[in-house]
Each structure stands twice: as C-alpha cells, then as structure tokens.
A and B are shown apart, each in its own frame.
Chain A
Amino acid sequence: MTLMTKFFGAAAAVALSAGAALADPGLIIDLGGKFDKSFNEAAYNGAKRWIEKTGGKYKETELQSEAQREQSMRRMAESGANPVVVLGFANASTLDKVAPDYPDTKFAIIDMVVDQPNVESIVFTEQEGSYLVGMLAGMASKTGTVSFVGGMDIPLIRRFACGYAQGVKAVNPKAKIIENMTGTTPAAWNDPVKGGEITRTQISQGSDVVYAAAGGTGVGVLQTAADEGILSIGVDSNQNYLHPGKVLTSMMKRVDNAVFDVFSKGVDNFEPGIKVLDLKANGVGYALDQYNEKLITPEMKAAVEAAKAAIIAGDIKVHDYMSDDSCPVETM
C-alpha cells in the first residue's frame, strides 16, 4: 500500500513536470460531513462513480471549520490536484482570493458564482425541482397543510422553499405552507436533533408532508416524519431508501453528475464560466423508485410529468427567489 502510494506520488510528480496533463482531480467536501446522505454525499458518489468508470484516483479533503477553508484550498492546489471541485456557496469568497494565485489549476465551485478565468461555476435551478416535489406534496396531503424545513437561512435555501410553495399552490391553491429554518450558521447543516424538533412542531400545526432542504439535518426530519407517520421529501441525493414507503419522493439535485462531469472532462476540456444545470439538463428532478412507487399514483405522476414538460418548454415559469429576494407565494 505504502509502496503504491509512493509509486503514484512519483508518477504524479513526473506528470506534473510534464505539464500537469495527468494530474488527479481533487474534491473539497464542505462542512456537514462527507456522509450527510445529502449534498456532500451526492458529490462523493459522483467521484466514486468516476473511479469505477475510469479506474483513476482523486484527492479528497473534508473541511472541519470555517477558518480552514483557505489552507485546504491552497493545499489541494499545491498538491497538484487538477481540476479541483469545491463544494458549497460558503467557499466563494475564499476561492475568489485563492484562484488567481494558481492560474494553472482549474477550479469548479458548486452552488455559487465566482468570476475568475480558471473557475467554472455550477449552479442548479433548485426552484424547478422543488416545484415538482411541491406538486406531489400538495396532491399527497390530506390535511391541506404541508411544511418545509430549511438548513441555514440563506437566499439559496429560500429558493428551495419558494419553488416548493409555488408547486403546492399550483395543485391546491388553498393549501397552507409552514416554513422553518434550522439556524443562521453552517452548524444548521448538521443538526438532525433540531431538525426533528422542528418537524414535530410542524406536525402539531397540521402538516402531513414535510420537505427537508437542510443537508445532514434532513436525516432527523425524515426520521421524525417516519416515526410520526407522516410523509417526507428528501433532498439532493435520492433519500427514498432511508424509510421505504414513508418518503414521498426526493428532490434530486445532481451534484454527483456535476462532479462526475468535471472529473471526466479533466483539465483539457475544462470550461470556465457559469453552467446552469436545470430541469432540461437533468440537473434537478424528482426521484421515483421501488421505495416510493406505491405512494405516487398514476394521476400524480401524470400531473408532475406534464408540469415538467411545461417548465422545460417554458410554458410554466417558476419564480426564482434569488432573482429579486422575494417570493410571490405566501408562506408562514
């Protein structure tokens, strides 16, 4: 093992001197943990799929604190990793500072736009995916009250909430939507206990479908929903399998595809600039598999598929919260 590491190290050094053509890609995992069953894990799965497909290897590091971002990013760039995928909006200001110092390293940041010549910014249209799962929630709800648990209270998460609310209202204009955020700091991405508490409160207010857009916190939301016998909606990764028959669907945000794509394209085919992964590009969507097929009736599926086609065709415009920092649909 150690011999192999040394061998690969030497090979990487040779490759570096030969113009960094054969460098390993790198992945910097955000706060909240690699196995959060959601955002970070989706990225990890994308990297894993790339390994299985190409037999290559990649470098990975996991952030442990806010103050550590810069050192991790520089360390990754200096280790010769190329391209480097940086997960999460919170890295934007650090990447903006670090990227110009390593002009030969290609960076890709997910969920945020960084305007540098060697950075590819990958953003998703979360409002569209959330709209679809919102429709499903509206149709599945018997009480007419559904709820939303966000992670950290930032515009990005409000974009999820707003898309969700629009979807619910589209199928049930009289529906009540309860919206809560877990916290205001990155700690809110990994607080399943608080997520569960919020869910319990929402249930007491009548909610019978809860949508979690909260990273690792969502695990607690889904668990509580399953315990209390209501339906839940997962996020980012397909979380249907966590509680078979109790998770209505998952809003898939294909971070795994984004990571896989950047890794596969490598340095030579790297495309700087903004890349929007929307419904049309299969960047977002809803999950349907053997775990939730009994929960989604053919009528529900038909309605959602119709809306999906309409959004792709441009006939339905889902309002983006981040475009004007407001949501046309009332939530509480």
Chain B
Amino acid sequence: MDTMPKWADVILIPLINLILALLVSGLVVLYIGENPIEAIGILLDGAVGSTRGWGYTLFYATNFIFTGLAVSVAFHARLFNIGGEGQAAIGGLGVALVSLSVNWPHWTVALPFAILGGAVFGAAWAAIPAYLQARRGSHIVITTIMFNFIASALLVYLLVNVLKVPGSMAPETAAFPKGAHLPNAYEVLGWFGIPFNKFAPLNIAFLLAVICCFGVWALIWRTRLGYEIRAYGHSEAAAVYAGIRPFRITMIAMLISGALAGLMGINAVMGEAERLVIDSVQGAGFVGIAVALMGRSHPLGVFLAAILFGILTQGGIELEFEIPAVSREMILVIQALVILFTGALENMVRMPVEKLFLRLKKKAG
C-alpha cells in the first residue's frame, strides 16, 4: 500500500481506469457508426453544460451517494450488501407513508420524520439478512439479493392493492401534501439570488447526502464503533480475540447500511416524484456498489464517484435523446465498462503504476 503516495491511489488510478473505459466506449460508439467525439460532447454538455444538466446530474448523484455510502459501511465490516436496491425501495415506502400520513404544515417539520421513516424502513429491510448472516450463517450476498425481489414484489402488491388512488388506473400513490414539498435547487438558490433551472429535481436532499458523507467518515475513522467495524472487517478472529462481538458488529453495520440506502427515498420519492411509483430506485442500489468500489469505500471517494455516475446517467439520457442510434442499452454498456475497468480490471492498471512509482522512488533514493 505504501509503494505509492495516497493521491495516486485515490485519484490517479481511478482516473486512468476511467480514461481507458471511455476509450473502449468510444470504440463501441464508432462501431455503431456514430462520432465518438461528438457523442462525448453531447454527454458532457447534457450533464454539466447547463443548470438543468447540473440539476439532474446532482440529483442522480444524490441517489448514488446514499446507496454508495450504504455499500461502503457494510464493506468496512467485510459484508457485501447487494440489497441496496430493495432497502432503498422499502425506505422510499417509509418516506411515502410518513409524507402521506399527516397534512404537514411545513417541510422543516415533515423532513425529520421522513428521514426517520426512510431510515427505519431501510434498516428493517437490512435487519433480516443481517440476522440470518450473524446467527445462521446464511450468506449475506445471497439473502440481500433475494430481498431485492421480495421488496419489489411487496411494493407492487401495496401500490396495486392498498396505496393506489381509488379510480386511478396507474399504480402509484396520491401526490404528497404541499407541506411535504422539499425546496428544490431553484428555490434554495433563489434565496441567495442565484438563478437555477426551475424544474430540475435537485433538492435539499443533496445537502443531507453531504452530511451523511461526513457522518460516515466520522463514524468509521473517529469513533470506537467505527474502529470495531474496521477491526472486524480486517480479521474476524483477531476482532473476537479483542473482545468484539461479531453478532453486534454485523447487525449494527447492516442496520446503518440499510438506513443509508433507505434515505435515498428522501431524494427520489419526497424530493422529486412527490408520490411513490413502482421502481422509484431505478437501479441506483446496484450503481451504489460500483460507486463504493470506485470510491474505495471512503466517503470522499464515494462522493466523487457518485458525481461521475450522475454525469454518466444524465449525460446518457441526453445522448439517447440527441442521437437515436445510441440506445439505452449502449449507455448501460458504457457504464458497465467503467465498472469493469474500475472494479474488475483494477490491478491491470495498479501494477504498472506501482512499478513506476517504485522506480521513481529508487531513482530519488
């Protein structure tokens, strides 16, 4: 680990990976007969070229920060939480139930309760696989994946049979009361006189995500509990020897993880849609895994990786709109290449870079 300076590990290697991924994506775009330079131009312009683009990019990034942090916290305890998708969906249900339960007078009153609702529902959905892992040894990867399907089926049932507006044909809840409306970027920046696109979905949940980043950093590196989580993640036997109880750490790490995923509902359900629809998560739970991998499970890395994936998502939608030949599946291919290069093929870049730094060190020394 100390063969290279930290900045190279955190920034240089992901950057090289990203460039490689984009080069290969460019070849794919070339293959379908489009101009890759033009495509990347549309992608970047659509994602960061206007306040509308930024509004959507950061909105998607907010989703990815929550799910990325969720995966990261579990990672530190060496638990692979694949269930972000389901936990976020159930968290969204919690947010929706809170938002619909009372005719809220003001969002400042509604938000704390909605946060509680999302976190508790998300954590509860993570609690069952965590318990099964800690007590029965059922592998958490398998159980959390299965819980994604259960969550999706449960939501369909509730939206079709229980929560649907009577007389409506669409499986969605009623619109939330006005008092549960979270200020969006247009309103918040308007207080300071900064102009912003009026309809972009970016809202104050972004600030909540930033606070969560800081909170996770403080938890993992500045508290005794965080130390225990990391110790348990590095070596279970050593942790047990030091008096750390595996059951407690497994449960706590997964509950925090599920709660963070559940908070995504604040952004997607309460902040944007203002009602609960089927598939409000849109795959963000799975993108969170890539975000956590790319961000090295560090909140700052997660934040940056989430913005990158926000750019890819929003830019991808623009690209699909502007160049019809680039389909939704093409955008998935590009995202998959980024994940492939940053996750699976990471050592391909790391080893030569490490060698380079070793050689530089020798020369200097």
Give the B-binding residues of A (Cβ under 8 A). 2, 59-62, 64-68, 70-71, 74-75, 78-79, 89-90, 92-93, 97, 101, 112, 154-156, 184-186
Contacts and interface: CB of A to CB of B under 8 A. Distances in A.
Given A92-B170, A156-B169, A61 B321 contact: yes
Contact of B171 (A60, A156, A185): A185
Interface residues of B, number: 31
A185 B170 contact: no
Contact of B279 (A66, A78, A155): A66
B156 to A, nearest CB: 5
Contacts of B321: 59, 61, 75, 79
Given A97-B175, A185-B160, A185-B278, 5 more contacts: A64-B328, A66-B277, A71-B201, A101-B198, A185-B171
A93 B56 CA distance: 21
A66 B269 CA distance: 12
B235 interface: no
Contacts of A184: 156, 160-161, 171
A67 B171 contact: no
B199 interface: yes
22 contacts: A2-B38, A59-B321, A64-B328, A66-B279, A66-B280, A67-B273, A67-B280, A70-B201, A70-B273, A71-B317, A74-B199, A92-B170, A93-B168, A93-B172, A93-B275, A97-B175, A101-B198, A156-B169, A184-B160, A184-B161, A185-B171, A186-B171
Interface of B: 35, 38, 52, 56, 156, 160-161, 168-172, 175, 198-199, 201, 268, 272-273, 275, 277-282, 317, 320-321, 324, 328
Contacts of A74: 199
A93 B278 contact: no
B278 A186 contact: yes
B199 A67 contact: no
B271 to A, nearest CB: 12
A35 to B, nearest CB: 13
A124 to B, nearest CB: 15
A66 B198 CA distance: 22
A154 B169 contact: yes
Nearest to B280: A67
B279 A65 contact: yes
A67 B56 contact: no
Contacts of A71: 56, 201, 317
Contact of A101 (B199, B277, B282): B199
Task: Determine which residue in A66, A90, A97, A156 has the highest number of CB atoms from chain B within 10 A of its CB, and name it.
Answer: A66
Query: Which 5 pairs show the lowest CB-CB distances between chains A and B?
Result: A154-B169, A184-B160, A66-B277, A90-B170, A66-B279
Contacts of B282: 65, 67-68
A2 B322 CA distance: 11
Contacts of B201: 70-71
Contact of A93 (B38, B175, B279, B281): B175
A89 B169 contact: yes
A93 B170 contact: yes
Nearest to A79: B321
A112 B170 CA distance: 11
Contacts of A61: 320-321
Contacts of B275: 93
Contacts of A185: 156, 160, 171, 278
Contacts of A79: 321
A88 B277 CA distance: 16
A185 to B, nearest CB: 5
B283 to A, nearest CB: 8
Contacts of B38: 2
B52 A78 contact: yes
Nearest to A97: B175
Nearest to B328: A64
A78 B282 CA distance: 23
Nearest to B33: A1
A70 B272 contact: yes
Contacts of A67: 268, 273, 277, 279-282
A109 to B, nearest CB: 12
Contacts of B324: 60
Contacts of B170: 89-90, 92-93
B156 A2 contact: no
A93 B38 CA distance: 36
B152 to A, nearest CB: 10
Contacts of A97: 175
